[in-house]
Structure 1
Amino acid sequence: MKTTYVFASLLALLVGCEPLDVPQSPTEPCSPVSYANHPRHQTYLTELQQYRQKSNAPGSILLIQKPGEPRWIGAVGKSNLEHQTDIQVCDQFRVGSITKMFVAVAALKLQEQGKLRFDDRLATLLPGTADRIPQADQITLRHLLSHTSGIVDPPNESIAYQLSIVDDYQERFSLTTGQLLTKYVYGKSLHFAPGSGWSYSNANYWLLGQIIEQKTGQRLHDVLDDWIFRPLGMNDTYLEVRDDRNVVRGYADLYGNGRLYDVSHWDRADSDGEADGGIISTAADLATFADALFNGKLLTESALSEMIKPTLLPTCPNGDCEYGLGVEHWKTGLGTAYGHNGGSVGIEANLLFFPKNKGIFVLYKNNGNGSDKSLMDRVMP
C-alpha cells in the first residue's frame, strides 16, 4: 500500500505496552554479489550510508542502473535487529504499493487480449458489488486503475481497520479480500462521483485483484507468476503468503524517541498476499521488471502508452494528478520519472524509471517513516 504515515502514527498511540513478536532468524541466507569494483562504488555507497543514517533505518538497499555503466547494488545496516543480521543486496523485502504496477500490467494484458475494456463497469465485472458500492454501475476499470473511482481507502482512512491490526493482527491476517470489502468498503459513501476527482485507494486494487481472478480463473499470484515473474526470471519474487523468515524485518519508531520496534507482524497483516501491496521481491528483480515494462517487453506500445498517460482533472493541482494506470509520475531533476512508492508501518520502497536516460532507481529501507529521496537527483544523471 501507499506510504501510511497516518496509519503508523495511529498505531503508535494505540499499541501501548503490547509485546511484539520475537523475529525468527533467517534459515536460507541469500548469496550476495559484490559491487566493490564498480567505478562509482564509493560514491553510491556514501550516498546510501547517509540516506540510512538520516532516515534512522536499521538497513537500506539501493540499486542504480544506467546506460554506460554496469548495474550497482548496495546494502548497509541490518535486516534483523534481534539477530543483528546484516542486510544483503540480494535480500527479499516487502515492496508495498509497487505491487500495484504488477496488478495494472495484468489488467492491461487482459485488455490487450480483449477480455477487459477500460470502460467496463464494476457492477458488470463483479455483480456482487452492484448493490454494495454506490454507483458501481458508473465506476469503470479505468477509474479503479487510476484511483478516480471515489471508493474509500480503509488502510489510511478507517480507524476500525487500523484497530483490527493492533487488536488482533492474526485474525486480520486471516480475512479474505471479499471479507475485507464486506467489512470496510461495502455500504460506504464515495468521496466523489466516479471520474470527477482523484483519491488514492487500496480498495481499488482489492477489486482489481478480484476482477483479474474472475477473468482468468486463476489466483492472482499464479497470474503474475505466469505472465511476469517466471517469463522475466524473477525467481525471488512472489505474491502468495509464505513463511517470511527470510524477508527483511520492518521497524517503526512508534513513540518518536528513536527506539525502533519490530512491526513486521503488522506489515504482514496489512498486505501479505493482497493485490494492493503484497509482493515480496528484491532490488534486482524490481529492476528487471521496470526494464521489461518500460522498454516494451511486457505490454504493447499502445497499452504502455495508456498506462503512463497522466490522469488530468480540474480537481488535481495544476490539473495533473501525477498518476497513470498503476503508475506514479515523479517530478525530478532528470525530468518526469515513472514508477511507484510503497510503504507500510515498517517499510518504505521506491521503484522509478527515468525515460530521459533509461535509468532505473530502486531504494528500500526497513523503517516505515517517510524519507528525503533527493539522492536520486545526485546519483541518476
Structure 2
Amino acid sequence: MNLSAYWPALLGLLMGCEPLAVPQPTPLPCDLSAYARHPRHQTYLTELQQYRQQSVAPGSILLIQKPGEPRWIGAVGKANLEYQTDILPCSQFRVGSITKMFVAVAVLKLVEQGKLRLDDRLATLLPHTAGHIPQADQITLRHLLSHTSGITDPPNESIRYQLRIVDNAPERFSLTTDQLLATYVYGKPLHFTPGTGWSYSNANYWLLGKLLEQQTGKPLQSVLNDWIFNPLALNNTYLEVRDDSQLVRGYADLYGDGRLFDVSHWDRADSDGEADGGIISTAADLATFAEALFGGKLLSDTWLTEMLKPTRLPSCPDGDCEYGLGVEHWKTGLGLAYGHNGGSVGIEANLLYFPHNRGVFVLYKNNGNGSDKRLMDRLMK
C-alpha cells in the first residue's frame, strides 16, 4: 500500500512488542525442478540471494520472464521465521498496492462498456460523498484513478489511523470501507484543487472499490473473479478476507537494531479485503496478469493506451507525475517500464512490464523496508 518509510520506526517507539501466536503453515506442493533446469538459473539465483542479503529480508521471490527463454521463478530464505518455513516460488503473499492495477482495469472495463466516463463526477457517482468530501462535484473518475483528486491518504498521513492498527489491529480489521471513509476521509480538506496536483492516496481506491460494487451489484471479489481472476486462471489470487495462516509472514525491524518482528497482523488489518491493497497472489499469477494486461487481452487498445498515458502537471517534477490510471511509470536503465510497487509494514512487492522486450519482472520480500531494485537493469536486458 506504499506506506511511509517511517512506519516501522514510529510503531516501534509507540508499543512494547509482545510475541504473538504465529500459526504453523502446512507444506505447499511446489515443483522446483523446471526452474532449476533454466539456462540462467544460477545467474538469477545468485542475484536473488544478494538482493535478499542486502535488503535484510527473511525471504525473497524473483520472477524473470523474457522472450527467448522460459519463465524463471526463484525463492530464497524463509516465509515464516517462527517455524523456519522456507519461502517457495509458489508461495502466496500480500501484493499491497499492486492491487490498484487490478481495480483500475475493472473500472476501465466499465468505461469501455459505456457504463462510466472518465469525466464523471464523484458526487454524481457516489452521491453520499457530496457534503462529506470537499469539491466532490469537481473530482472526476480520472482524478481518482490517477491520484489527482487531492483527497487525503490516511494510511500514510494519519497518525490516528496508524495508532489504531498498533493499539487494536482487530478493531481496525473490522472496519468497513464506509466506516474508514467516515472516520478518516470525510470532512478532511483536500491537498489541492482537483486536477491541479498529484498526491498518492489509498482513499481514492477505497472509493473506486465502492463504485465498482455499486455499478455491478456484486462484491468486489466477484467483479475481479468475473473479469480478471477466472478468465486468466489466476487460481492462487484473491481479494476477499480468508484465513492467512499459509501466507508468507511479514516482518519489520521496529527498533533499528536488526531484530525482526512478525507484523503480519498489522499488514492484515491494514489491507486484507480492501480495494487499495488487499490482493493475495503469487509471482506466477502476477506475471500472467501483467502479460495479459499489456498484451491487450483485458482492455482494448484504446483503453489500454488511456491507462498508460502519463499524467502531466506543472506541479510534478519535469511536468511528469510518472503515473497513469492505476499504473506507475518507472524510469529504469532499460527505458520506461509500467507496473506498480506495493508496500506495507512487513512486505514489499514489485510488478513491472518492460515494453522494449515484453519482459515481466516480479520481486517480493517479506521485510517492509525499502530496497535497491537496480538488479532489474541487469536481468531484464
TM-score range, shorter chain: over 0.9
One-letter amino acid of the counterpart of residue 69, structure 1: E
Counterpart secondary structure, 2:323: coil
SS of 1:303 mapped into structure 2: helix
Distance in 2 of aligned mates of 1:30 and 1:19: 33
**Structure 2 segments unaligned to the other structure (5+ residues):** none
Deviation at 1:202, TM superposition (A): 0.2
Instruction: Give the residue type in structure 1 aligned to 2:69.
Output: E
Q: Name 1:178's counterpart in structure 2.
A: 178
What residue number does 2:338 align with?
338
CA distance in 1 between partners of 2:7 and 2:305 (Å): 34
Counterpart AA for 1:81: L
Counterpart of 1:99 in structure 2: which amino acid?
T
Taking the aligned partners of 2:38 and 2:186, their CA distance within structure 1 comes to 53
Identity %: 77
Whole-angstrom distance in 1 between the partners of 2:295 and 2:8: 36
Aligned position for 1:205 = 205
Matches within 5 A, 1:225-374: 225-374=225-374
- Indicate conservation of the 8 Å contact 1:287/1:360, yes or no: yes
Asked whether the equivalents of residues 206 and 275 of structure 2 are also in contact (C-alpha less than 8 Å), the reply is: yes
Counterpart residue identity of residue 104, structure 1:
A
Whether the 8 Å contact between 1:108 and 1:303 is mirrored in structure 2 is yes
Q: Give how far 1:295 is off.
A: 0.4
Does the aligned pair in 2 maintain the 1:3–1:348 contact within 8 Å? no
Question: Which residue identity is paired with 2:374?
Answer: S
TM-score (norm 2): 0.99
CA distance in 2, matches of 1:23, 1:355: 41
| Distance in 2 separating the partners of 1:135 and 1:293 | 33
Give SS of 1:5's match. coil
2:77 is equivalent to residue 77 of structure 1: yes
Give the letter aligned to residue 85 of structure 2. Answer: T
What do the CA deviations read for 1:256-288 (whole angstroms, capped 9, x no partner)?
A: 111100000000000000000000000000000
Q: 1:115 maps to what in 2?
A: 115
Whole-angstrom CA distance in 1 between matches of 2:138 and 2:6: 30
Q: Secondary structure at the match of 1:207?
A: helix
Shift of 1:3: 4.0
Shift of 1:12: 1.9
Paired residue secondary structure (1:52)? helix
- The C-alpha deviation readout for 1:226-278, integer Å capped at 9, x for no partner, is 11001001000000000001110000000111110000000000000000000
| Correspondence list, 1:178-197, <5 A | 178-197=178-197
User: Which runs of at least 4 in structure 1 moved beyond 6 Å after TM superposition?
Assistant: none
Cα drift, residue 28 of structure 1:
5.3
Question: What is the aligned partner in structure 2 of residue 138 from structure 1?
Answer: 138
Following superposition, the deviation at residue 66 of structure 1 comes to 0.1
Tell me how far apart the structure 2 counterparts of residues 20 and 133 of structure 1 sit (CA, whole Å): 40
Q: CA RMSD in A?
A: 0.8
Q: Structure 1: state its 5+ residue gaps.
A: none
Shift of 1:61: 0.1
Given residue 293 of structure 1, which amino acid in structure 2 is its aligned partner? L
CA distance in structure 1 between the aligned counterparts of 2:93 and 2:201, rounded to whole angstroms:
23
Superposed displacement of residue 111, structure 1? 0.3
Secondary structure at the residue paired with 2:164?
A: helix
Superposition deviation, residue 30 in structure 1:
3.4
